[in-house]
Amino acid sequence: MKFGVIVFPGSNCDRDADHAATQVLGQASELIWHKDTDLKGADAVILPGGFAHGDYLRTGAMARFSPIMREVMAFADRGGPVLGICNGFQILLESGLLPGAMLRNRGLKYRCEHVHVRVEQTDTPFTCGAEAGQVLRIPIGHGEGNYFAPPDVLQMLEANRQVVLRYTAPDGQLVDDANPNGSVHAIAGICNERRNVVGMMPHPERACEPALGGVDGLVILESIVKAFATA
Amino acid sequence: MGHPPTPWALRALMRRRADMLGGEGMRRMRARVFVTLKPSVFDPQGRTIADALHSLGYDKVEDVRQGKYFELDLATTEMAQARELAAEVADKLLANPVIESYRIEIAES
């Protein structure tokens, strides 16, 4: 299969995602500039982490209007798998592909550390290789990961099982101390109603080789290949 | 006729138009856009600023909400058009309606 990794001015995890796709997963991958207007035949699209357009105004606010986003939205509409990692998640929120918004972290600090997230849903192209309740140790690095949605939207997310990942203690228990940014319902990742678009704050591409200090992110990336093979 | 103007030609045209509007006593409009977090949304920056003020002894400052302020210089003399334009860009880009609301003031610049 072929990955398409979108490169915005200010993206800084694009090469990592591309490396993970080609060197770790052994798949084809192409970096796609944000001004491009086609996805070069990608079977899955990754919006990588970073600071697209400097994150001026709001995180992801301007990236949403990059020309390639029209193609990404059409791809998502066709059911194509789209993964937004960190800044990519923020872009998905601003573009309306996922509901909600990001606020500054509770405590205002940029948090760069390993966290634990529990896999809540396994019927997405990005978690189908994981077990429900599986706890993954994956790094985060963000200042604006405090997920917010109004109460009615939160209720809808929970009712539709759209919360894909939650911050938990290493044993999978929901405790407030394990929530690094104050996200409502300890949300670390969500999917759309159709379940083909997922946004997550932790970086699976930073935890997919032993040299990186952990391989728990691998299951997220391998899920994409598995989903493609069984589609 | 024929080809549409190139982007640079369009920009030059808009500059000339703006110069014309700006000169000869023609007034332009300035929109002030105040973007704030909705009351229901927690404002960690505002809270931290309030805490800092309390530690400086300003106990009468009960709460702080912080936000963003934009000044838009608009090439129009029509008050209604200026307001409409400012609201459009606020909706589209300046504010995120999920967490923020905005207020617009229009004045001659």
Q: Return d(Cα B94, Cα B75) in angstroms, integer.
A: 19
Which of B41, B42, B93 lies nearest to residue A61, judging by beta carbons? Answer: B93
If we measure between CA atoms, which residue out of A221, A227, A226 comes closest to residue A85?
A221
Chain B CB contacts of A99 under 8 Å are: 98
What is d(CA A117, CA A98) in angstroms, rounded to the nearest whole number?
A: 19
The total of structural domains in chain A comes to 1
Its domain, for residue A198, covers: 2-230
Helices (H) and strands (E) in chain B, counts: 3, 3
**Buried-exposed string A189-213: b where 16+ CB fall within 10 A, e elsewhere:** bbbbeebbbbbbbbbbbbbbbeebe
Closest Cα of chain B to A62: distance in Å? 8
Cross-strand bridge partners of residue A190: A163, A199
CATH of B27-108, one of 2.60.40.420, 3.30.1280.10, 3.40.50.1220, 1.10.10.10: 3.30.1280.10
Q: What is the interface pTM, i.e. ipTM, of the complex?
A: 0.85
Mean pLDDT of all residues belonging to chain A = 97
Q: What DSSP designation does A13 have?
A: S
Distance CA A78, CA B3 (A): 35
User: With a CB-CB cutoff of 8 Å, which residues 176-195 of chain A face chain B?
Assistant: 182
Show me where the domains of chain B are located: 27-108
Q: CATH number for the domain including A198?
A: 3.40.50.880
Amino acid at A221: L
CB of A72 within 8 A of CB of A33?
no
With beta carbons less than 8 A apart as the criterion, state whether A104 and B41 touch: no
Say if A63 is an interface residue toward chain B (CB within 8 Å). no
Separation CA A89–CA A102 (nearest Å): 9
pLDDT digit of tens for each residue in chain A (231 aa)? Answer: 999 999 999 999 999 999 999 999 999 999 999 999 999 999 999 999 999 999 999 999 999 999 999 999 999 999 999 999 999 999 999 999 999 999 999 989 999 999 999 999 999 999 999 999 999 999 999 999 999 999 999 999 999 999 999 999 999 999 999 999 999 999 999 999 999 999 999 999 999 999 999 999 999 999 999 999 998
* Pair of tokens at residue A169: 């203690």
Name the residue among A58, A101, A104 with its Cβ closest to that of B45: A104
The residues of A annotated as belonging to the active site are: 86, 203, 205
Query: How confident is the model over B59-72, as a mean pLDDT?
Result: 96
